[in-house]
Structure 1
């Protein structure tokens, strides 16, 4: 029950970004078309034709060397369906929609782009492994392989703050799955399975995307084969993209994987090794691997920039400025909150929104254990001699360098001390409209540090600019949206 509740909250957080529900609906529609025998292809054809880019990709793949023997010169989606089969094209569409969604959602962060490319490479491995077999089963295996990575992709793309915490734990030697469970309370695989369920993907895909156990022989061979394809493709992609791995060690690891999976894949280990390394060479010349190398070539510069708080905050301001004023308040607040969290590497952030009842309520937040704290965070607009009321009366932000100082501690309200014990430093950023009314308050803190942290004047200026930019989204937000925050 606790995991189910947590997954519901994660989905709520991802839905705030606006584009995620569109992916869910698109995949559900595609799966519905595949499972409806009465559509006579027309439903799936319409899904493909409604997206010009998707149409071109389906036709390009249908005419690729891999599928040439099945159809020759295929110029229409209907012909592709007739020749390749509804299941094959349907699974192809699902895979393309997943990849395209994350391409279009790709943030500026290099780690997100690298994770997406690693996922795409695993899909290339799966397609290469299955190119001489049944088309339907081959595309089904590609979808399983992509879905095995989906939990991690959703965290990287939609839960920036939590992903940063996971990476910090991984840097200390913890495994990725263990770190994910430590931070989120669920594993990447559990998040991926939840996505597969909510997108109404078939049961075979849901079991095919899970962990492979070569000793488990009490399940249908098709299930074990799918798991082997999925896990082998994922592990090969991980080895091929591991930075600074000598070529000799890479070849040894690929050979070990081939030995482990060859029996279930019904392939000679040497054939698997040759296929994997040949694909790596092809992709390095002109494909996903090349892009990964190019991204890594610039990784140091990007990492240095990401460590500069002012640059991070101003980049967030630029992203907010690019959003139309009527694009929705929740996405803008989430973007601003994540910018503050990542830019200053805070422990957590909270957005307080003023409601018509004269109360500032915490509407969203990011960071460790924030979901449990949010319902307890609110304060009335009526004046009290504390720093929160000082902040909402200000037009610029307030930085409290040492919240543990006895004089400052006396200015902290009781509700705050109960919720956030142990904070060393924090910032309060008022969001003020042109009529001078404060409609929101952004909070971010550093906790459990022996030495108080500082915010420079230039960083504070960037934070104030971020808060000012948020004001226009409140000006356009309907009252009904404000009340739901």
Structure 2
């Protein structure tokens, strides 16, 4: 009871900082998305797309050498989720959000930066240890490793006076966790485990954060996670302790490798070589590749991006690659994201025909879309507006200036009420040959964005995407 009161008080203190509640909510949203229906990726896709760096990290992983067998050239998060799996991407997102939060919140104090660097390095080691195995388990191990140190990071970043007291006790020879208990009444580990519970992280993560003891009777997977978490944390500490000589550092790592080698199913010599290779990389003053990826060099990745026509064509291929009987929801999410990413739209929405008379928004990404889907609909009965022009067409139409007075007169009232900040937009009818459309794809650029046009080749690619999407309505005409 006393411990619970202490933890509640600590969280209240941390919540006083405006950025901390945002991290908590972001992690809860990600975890909730991970537990969503395996066939409906929309929730997790939205989480990833909300952060450009996150999106590029996921796409880079999906296109890595490990997944060339899946065809490579994966350009949408939806397709990446299908290749990597919900668990792997979900854990990857959790890990990145934790690291990025502390990275962007980092105070100028050297000790805070050192603790964050140790945490990132431990995550790098965990990923190196698991890179040849199952990706889902590997990303889970990385999150366990990061979370093992989150308790300490929370104190360093949010409870600075108490952290200074803890440091002074440590300088007098007290162990860190003991000093934390003396000052706060709970240990770093307990704070981290409480964070995992409050953020609703999976049970496997919370169990994997614990101390490794070869004599424990815990399930094998739990023991394996604890071994990776503990080994990675200890090696990061050894590699970043300035007072160690090279000889002392090697001796410590050799001891750790012999202690954990069997649990990690890796020869101690191999563990030592890997760990020392990381040490040499740091000694050469180079930034480790994994840490660079954690911070997501968005500019460099953006330069490598495909041109719009190619990105849309890749989305068409992804639709064609979906196995027979794939849920309509998956196809809708993939197509909607392809339109968004292909042309850099601010928003995309797919309207699906319900019965004979209504088109209702079923999927969407971007501002003013989330939470408003149930208010975006229109009757199929003819009206003299641009949406009815689109559903009477066999190909897409592009409205270059939605603010032109003549065009404003052709925009329906429901559109002006909800999406009145559009500069330009495209409407793509989704229909089988010779039949009324079963859906309508919408994408727009906002007034805040630079004006641009859609080329004839880009429009042809968009029409091909809409045509490919139509076949998924044959087996499920109204279910989304």
Is 1:162 matched with 2:174? no
What does residue 279 of structure 1 align with? 278
Provide the residue aligned with 1:134 in structure 2.
134
2:209 corresponds to 1:243: no
Do the aligned partners of 2:124 and 2:290 also contact (CA within 8 Å) in 1? Answer: no
**What is the distance in 2 between the residues matched to 1:64 and 1:41?**
21
How far apart, in 2, do the equivalents of 1:110 and 1:75 lie? 39
Q: Distance in 2 between matches of 1:71 and 1:35?
A: 27
Residue 241 of structure 1 contacts residue 289 of structure 1 at CA under 8 Å; is this kept in 2?
Answer: no
Indicate conservation of the 8 Å contact 2:227/2:263, yes or no: yes
Partner of 2:76: 76
Map of 2:17 onto structure 1: 17
Unaligned runs of 5+ in 2: 292-480
Shift, 1:8, TM fit:
0.3
Matched-pair contact (CA < 8 Å) for 2:281–2:288: no
Give TM-score, length-normalised by structure 1: 0.58
For residues 194-216 of structure 1, give each alpha carbon's deviation from its aligned partner in whole angstroms, at most 9, with x where no partner exists. Answer: 00000000111001011111121
In the other structure, the counterpart of 1:326 is none
Provide the C-alpha distance between the structure 1 equivalents of 2:76 and 2:100, rounded to a whole number of angstroms: 21
TM-score of the superposition, structure 2-length normalised? 0.58
Once the two structures are superposed, residues 332-386 of structure 1 have per-residue CA deviations (whole angstroms, 9 ceiling, x without a partner) of: xxxxxxxxxxxxxxxxxxxxxxxxxxxxxxxxxxxxxxxxxxxxxxxxxxxxxxx
Conservation of the 8 A alpha-carbon contact between 2:119 and 2:149 = yes
2:171 paired with 1:171: yes
| Cα deviation digits, residues 274-330 of structure 1 (max 9, x gap) | 111122323444225999xxxxxxxxxxxxxxxxxxxxxxxxxxxxxxxxxxxxxxx
Structure 1 residue 64 displacement after superposition: 3.9
Corresponding residue number in structure 1 for 2:413: none
Q: Measure the CA separation in 1 of the matches of 2:89 and 2:30.
A: 10
Q: Is the 8 A contact 2:118 2:237 kept in 1?
A: yes
CA contact (8 A) 1:71 1:83 kept: no
What's the CA shift for 1:62? 3.1
Find the counterpart in structure 2 of residue 255 from structure 1. Answer: 254
- Tell me the residue number matched to 2:196: 196
Gap change, CA 1:15 and 1:89, over 3 Å in 2: same
Quick check: 276-285 or 130-139, which moved more? 276-285
CA contact under 8 A between 2:121 and 2:236: conserved in structure 1?
A: yes
Q: Which runs of 5+ in 1 are unaligned?
A: 292-485
Please say if 1:222 is aligned against 2:242. Answer: no
Residue pairs, 1:319-358, within 5 angstroms: none
Q: Distance in 1 between matches of 2:47 and 2:136?
A: 18
2:39 and 2:72 map into 1 onto residues whose CA distance is 25
Contact kept? 1:149, 1:192, Cα under 8 Å = yes
- Taking the aligned partners of 1:76 and 1:178, their CA distance within structure 2 comes to 47
Question: How many pairs does the alignment contain?
Answer: 291
Q: Equivalent residue for 1:148? A: 148
CA 247–68 in structure 1, closer or farther in 2 if over 3 Å, else same: farther
Structure 2 distance, partners of 1:273, 1:69, is 31
Separation in 1, partners of 2:121, 2:168 = 25
- Relative to structure 1, the CA distance from residue 68 to residue 243 in structure 2 (aligned partners, 3 Å threshold; closer, same or farther) is farther
Query: What residue is the counterpart of 1:32 in the other structure?
Result: 32
Q: 1-side partners of 2:120 and 2:92: how far apart? A: 13
Distance verdict in 2 for CA 1:114–1:70, change over 3 Å: farther
Q: Is the 8 A contact 1:283 1:289 kept in 2?
A: no
Contact 2:23–2:101 (8 Å) recurs in 1: yes
Relative to structure 1, is the Cα distance of residues 192 and 67 closer, same or farther in structure 2, using a 3 angstrom cutoff? farther
User: What residue in structure 2 maps to residue 232 of structure 1?
Assistant: 231
Q: Which residue of 1 aligns with 2:5?
A: 5
Q: Is the 8 A contact 2:224 2:263 kept in 1?
A: yes
CA distance in 2: counterparts of 1:235 and 1:205, whole angstroms:
18
**Which deviations, in whole Å up to 9, do the C-alpha atoms of 1:155-214 show, x marking residues without a partner?**
000000000000000000000000000000000000000000000001110010111111
| Distance in structure 1 (CA, Å) of the matches to 2:71 and 2:169 | 50
Secondary structure of the residue aligned to 2:263 is helix
Specify which structure has the bigger relative contact order, considering alpha-carbon pairs within 8 angstroms and separated by 6 or more residues.
Answer: 2
CA distance in 2, matches of 1:80, 1:161: 44
Closer/same/farther in 2, CA of residues 139 and 13 from structure 1, 3 Å limit = same
Query: Aligned to 2:212, what secondary structure does the other structure show?
Result: coil
Provide the residue aligned with 2:96 in structure 1.
Answer: 96
**1:19-57: CA deviation from partner (whole Å, max 9, x where unpaired):** 111111111011011111166111101110111121122
The whole-number CA distance in structure 1 between the counterparts of 2:280 and 2:60 is: 22
Give how far 1:244 is off: 2.7
The yes-or-no answer on 1:51 pairing with 2:14 is no
Distance 1:77 1:289 in 2: 22
CA contact (8 A) 2:70 2:83 kept: yes
1:271 Cα offset (Å)? 0.9
Instruction: Tell whether the 8 Å contact from 1:59 to 1:77 is kept in structure 2 after alignment.
Output: yes
SS of 1:263's equivalent? coil
- Aligned-residue offset at 1:69: 5.8
Inter-partner Cα distance in structure 1 for 2:204 and 2:63: 28
Distance across 2 between alignment mates of 1:60 and 1:228: 28
Provide the rounded CA distance (Å) in 2 between the counterparts of 1:66 and 1:242: 34
Question: In the aligned structure 1, how far is the partner of 2:170 from the partner of 2:178?
Answer: 9
Q: Is the 8 A contact 1:283 1:290 kept in 2?
A: no
Contact 1:120-1:288 at 8 Å conserved across structures: no
Q: Give the aligned partner of residue 435 of structure 1.
A: none
CA separation of 1:69 and 1:51: change in aligned 2, threshold 3 A: same
Between the aligned partners of 1:71 and 1:230, the Cα distance in structure 2 is 33
